[in-house]
Amino acid sequence: MKPSLVLKMGQQLTMTPQLQQAIRLLQLSTLDLQQEIQEALESNPMLERQEEGDDFDNSDPMADGAESATPTPNKEESYQETTPTVDNLEEGDWGERIPNELPVDTAWEDIYQTSASSLPSNDDDEWDFTTRTSSGESLHSHLLWQLNLAPMSDKDRLIAATLIDCINNDGYLEETLEEVTESFDPELDIELDEVEVVLHRIQQFEPAGIGARDLRECLLLQLRQLPANTPWLNETQRVVGDYLELLGSRDYAQLMRRTKLKEDELRQVIDLIQRLNPRPGSQIESSEPEYVVPDVIVRKHNERWLVELNQEAMPRLRVNPQYAGFVKRADSSADNTFMRNQLQEARWFIKSLQSRNETLMKVATQIVEHQRGFLDYGDEAMKPLVLHDIAEAVGMHESTISRVTTQKFMHTPRGIYELKYFFSSHVSTSEGGECSSTAIRAIIKKLVAAENAKKPLSDSKIAGLLEAQGIQVARRTVAKYRESLGIAPSSERKRLM
């Protein structure tokens, strides 16, 4: 074929840099947005934070006429009243305005208080240095700290460090003793008995039950550390050591026959077992706390629900009027071009922030309007809601609504919720209406909380109770909702009264 040039016309959608920036800011959480704003303030001299009490006015700096050679007379006069510049100060004024020795109204100790401001006073006996300065401790480091304090030979210390590496976050030994023994260098000549002896030393560490190989050993280790005069201790050790499977299946009749215990006595044994921790490693919390900053605040005023942005989490920005006045239209120098580009970027950034706030307010307002029943009465009054409903109400695409509701939080009188929490599927009712899946979960949780512990409600029985309220839910749907709530099946919820 002969190569040729062909001219074609077509249409395609291209995302401008401004639109890309607006979309990126829209999906950021409040904490990420604050970091983004701080980076923009540090990199762009045209941007400045609006201080509290100042008049917030972006009209002139944001307008096209802001690129004049000098600022407007009123603004320059106002600026010079508070901040004298080098140009408007004559040589004699420097001696009058800036004396040789400036008055000092602070002491040396008052300056360097960044790290010492949280230190206690001399009479503060309640202050704990560890809780205020240390980060979360991991289970591994906690066990190694105890190992360093234990008197032990170098060989045993090596074995102990290896065993500690094999303990998971729940506190259980993941590897068998044979596998641990085989992992050592044959030249060390470490026997299985030595590894087992060191494991027994580790099992005496805190928290109680650490280093166990299964649940039975974990519970027995905790029982052995209880005082010898603990009521029902011997009976509890026997139940855990010999009949833990029967206890797990809640076959209380068979358990009482084999242990020769009466119902009241077995109840005391079970009560002692329930005080033990099946996951001893979870007592050592290594994760740092996660902070949530609400984006919008909902409050009730005069029987109406009002939605407003969290002003403390939304820094107010503006274009620096002095720097904007230095931009010259006809000047093509490198400095002027840089300032013009920075001014344009500042305008885009502020406009993207305004667009984000407006979109967030529109979506939050529609959510509150739709879920007023939840705000008044709780989860059981939650209505079905999908992204399409909000997108249709505000005139936006569903993908935009998805970005707005991701990692955005609403502060309500009932607590702080992510915006996605208010969206849920629905099931039909006998009257032809719809019921939210969130409301159904709340009803199931309420029914289980009020059930008879001797005869817990099965999934079929819960489905029947829901149907009596006009909610048509299948048994497998009830099981799915129950599992999502972390509620065990009825066979595992059975208790002795």
Collapsed DSSP state (helix, strand, coil) of residue 54: coil
Q: Are 377 and 438 in contact (CB under 8 A)?
A: no
- Between the CA of residue 242 and those of 24, 259, 264, 266, what are the distances in Å? 60, 10, 20, 14
**Residue 73 pLDDT exceeds 80:** no
Q: What's domain 426-493's architecture? A: Orthogonal Bundle (1.10)
Q: If you average pLDDT over residues 474-494, what whole number do you get?
A: 85
- Between the CA of residue 30 and those of 310, 320, 328, 353, 381, what are the distances in Å? 10, 24, 36, 12, 29
185-195 pLDDT tens trace: 888 888 888 88
Give 91's pLDDT tier (boundaries 50, 70, 90): very low
Q: Write the Ramachandran bin of 316: left for phi over 0, alpha for psi from -120 to 50, otherwise beta.
A: beta
Closest CA relative to residue 298, chosen from 307, 290, 289: 307
Kindly write down the DSSP assignment for every residue of 388-447, as one continuous string: HHHHHHHT--HHHHHHHHTT-EEEETTEEEEGGGG-B-EEEBTTS-EEEHHHHHHHHHHH
Give 134's pLDDT tier (boundaries 50, 70, 90): very low
Domain ranges in the chain? 139-202, 215-283, 296-422, 426-493
Predicted confidence at residue 430, as pLDDT, reads 65
Predicted confidence at residue 217, as pLDDT, reads 92
Separation between Cα atoms, residue 421 and residue 424, nearest integer Å: 8
Collapsed DSSP state (helix, strand, coil) of residue 43: helix
Residues 323, 325, 331, 334, Cα dihedral to 10°: 0
Task: Give me the count of residues in the chain.
Answer: 497
**Residue 9 pLDDT exceeds 60:** yes
Predicted confidence at residue 69, as pLDDT, reads 39
Predicted confidence at residue 467, as pLDDT, reads 85
Q: What are phi and psi of 172, to 5 degrees?
A: -100, 150
Q: What are phi and psi of 154, to 5 degrees?
A: -65, -35
Rg over CA atoms, the chain: 34
Mean pLDDT value across the chain = 79
Give 439's pLDDT tier (boundaries 50, 70, 90): confident
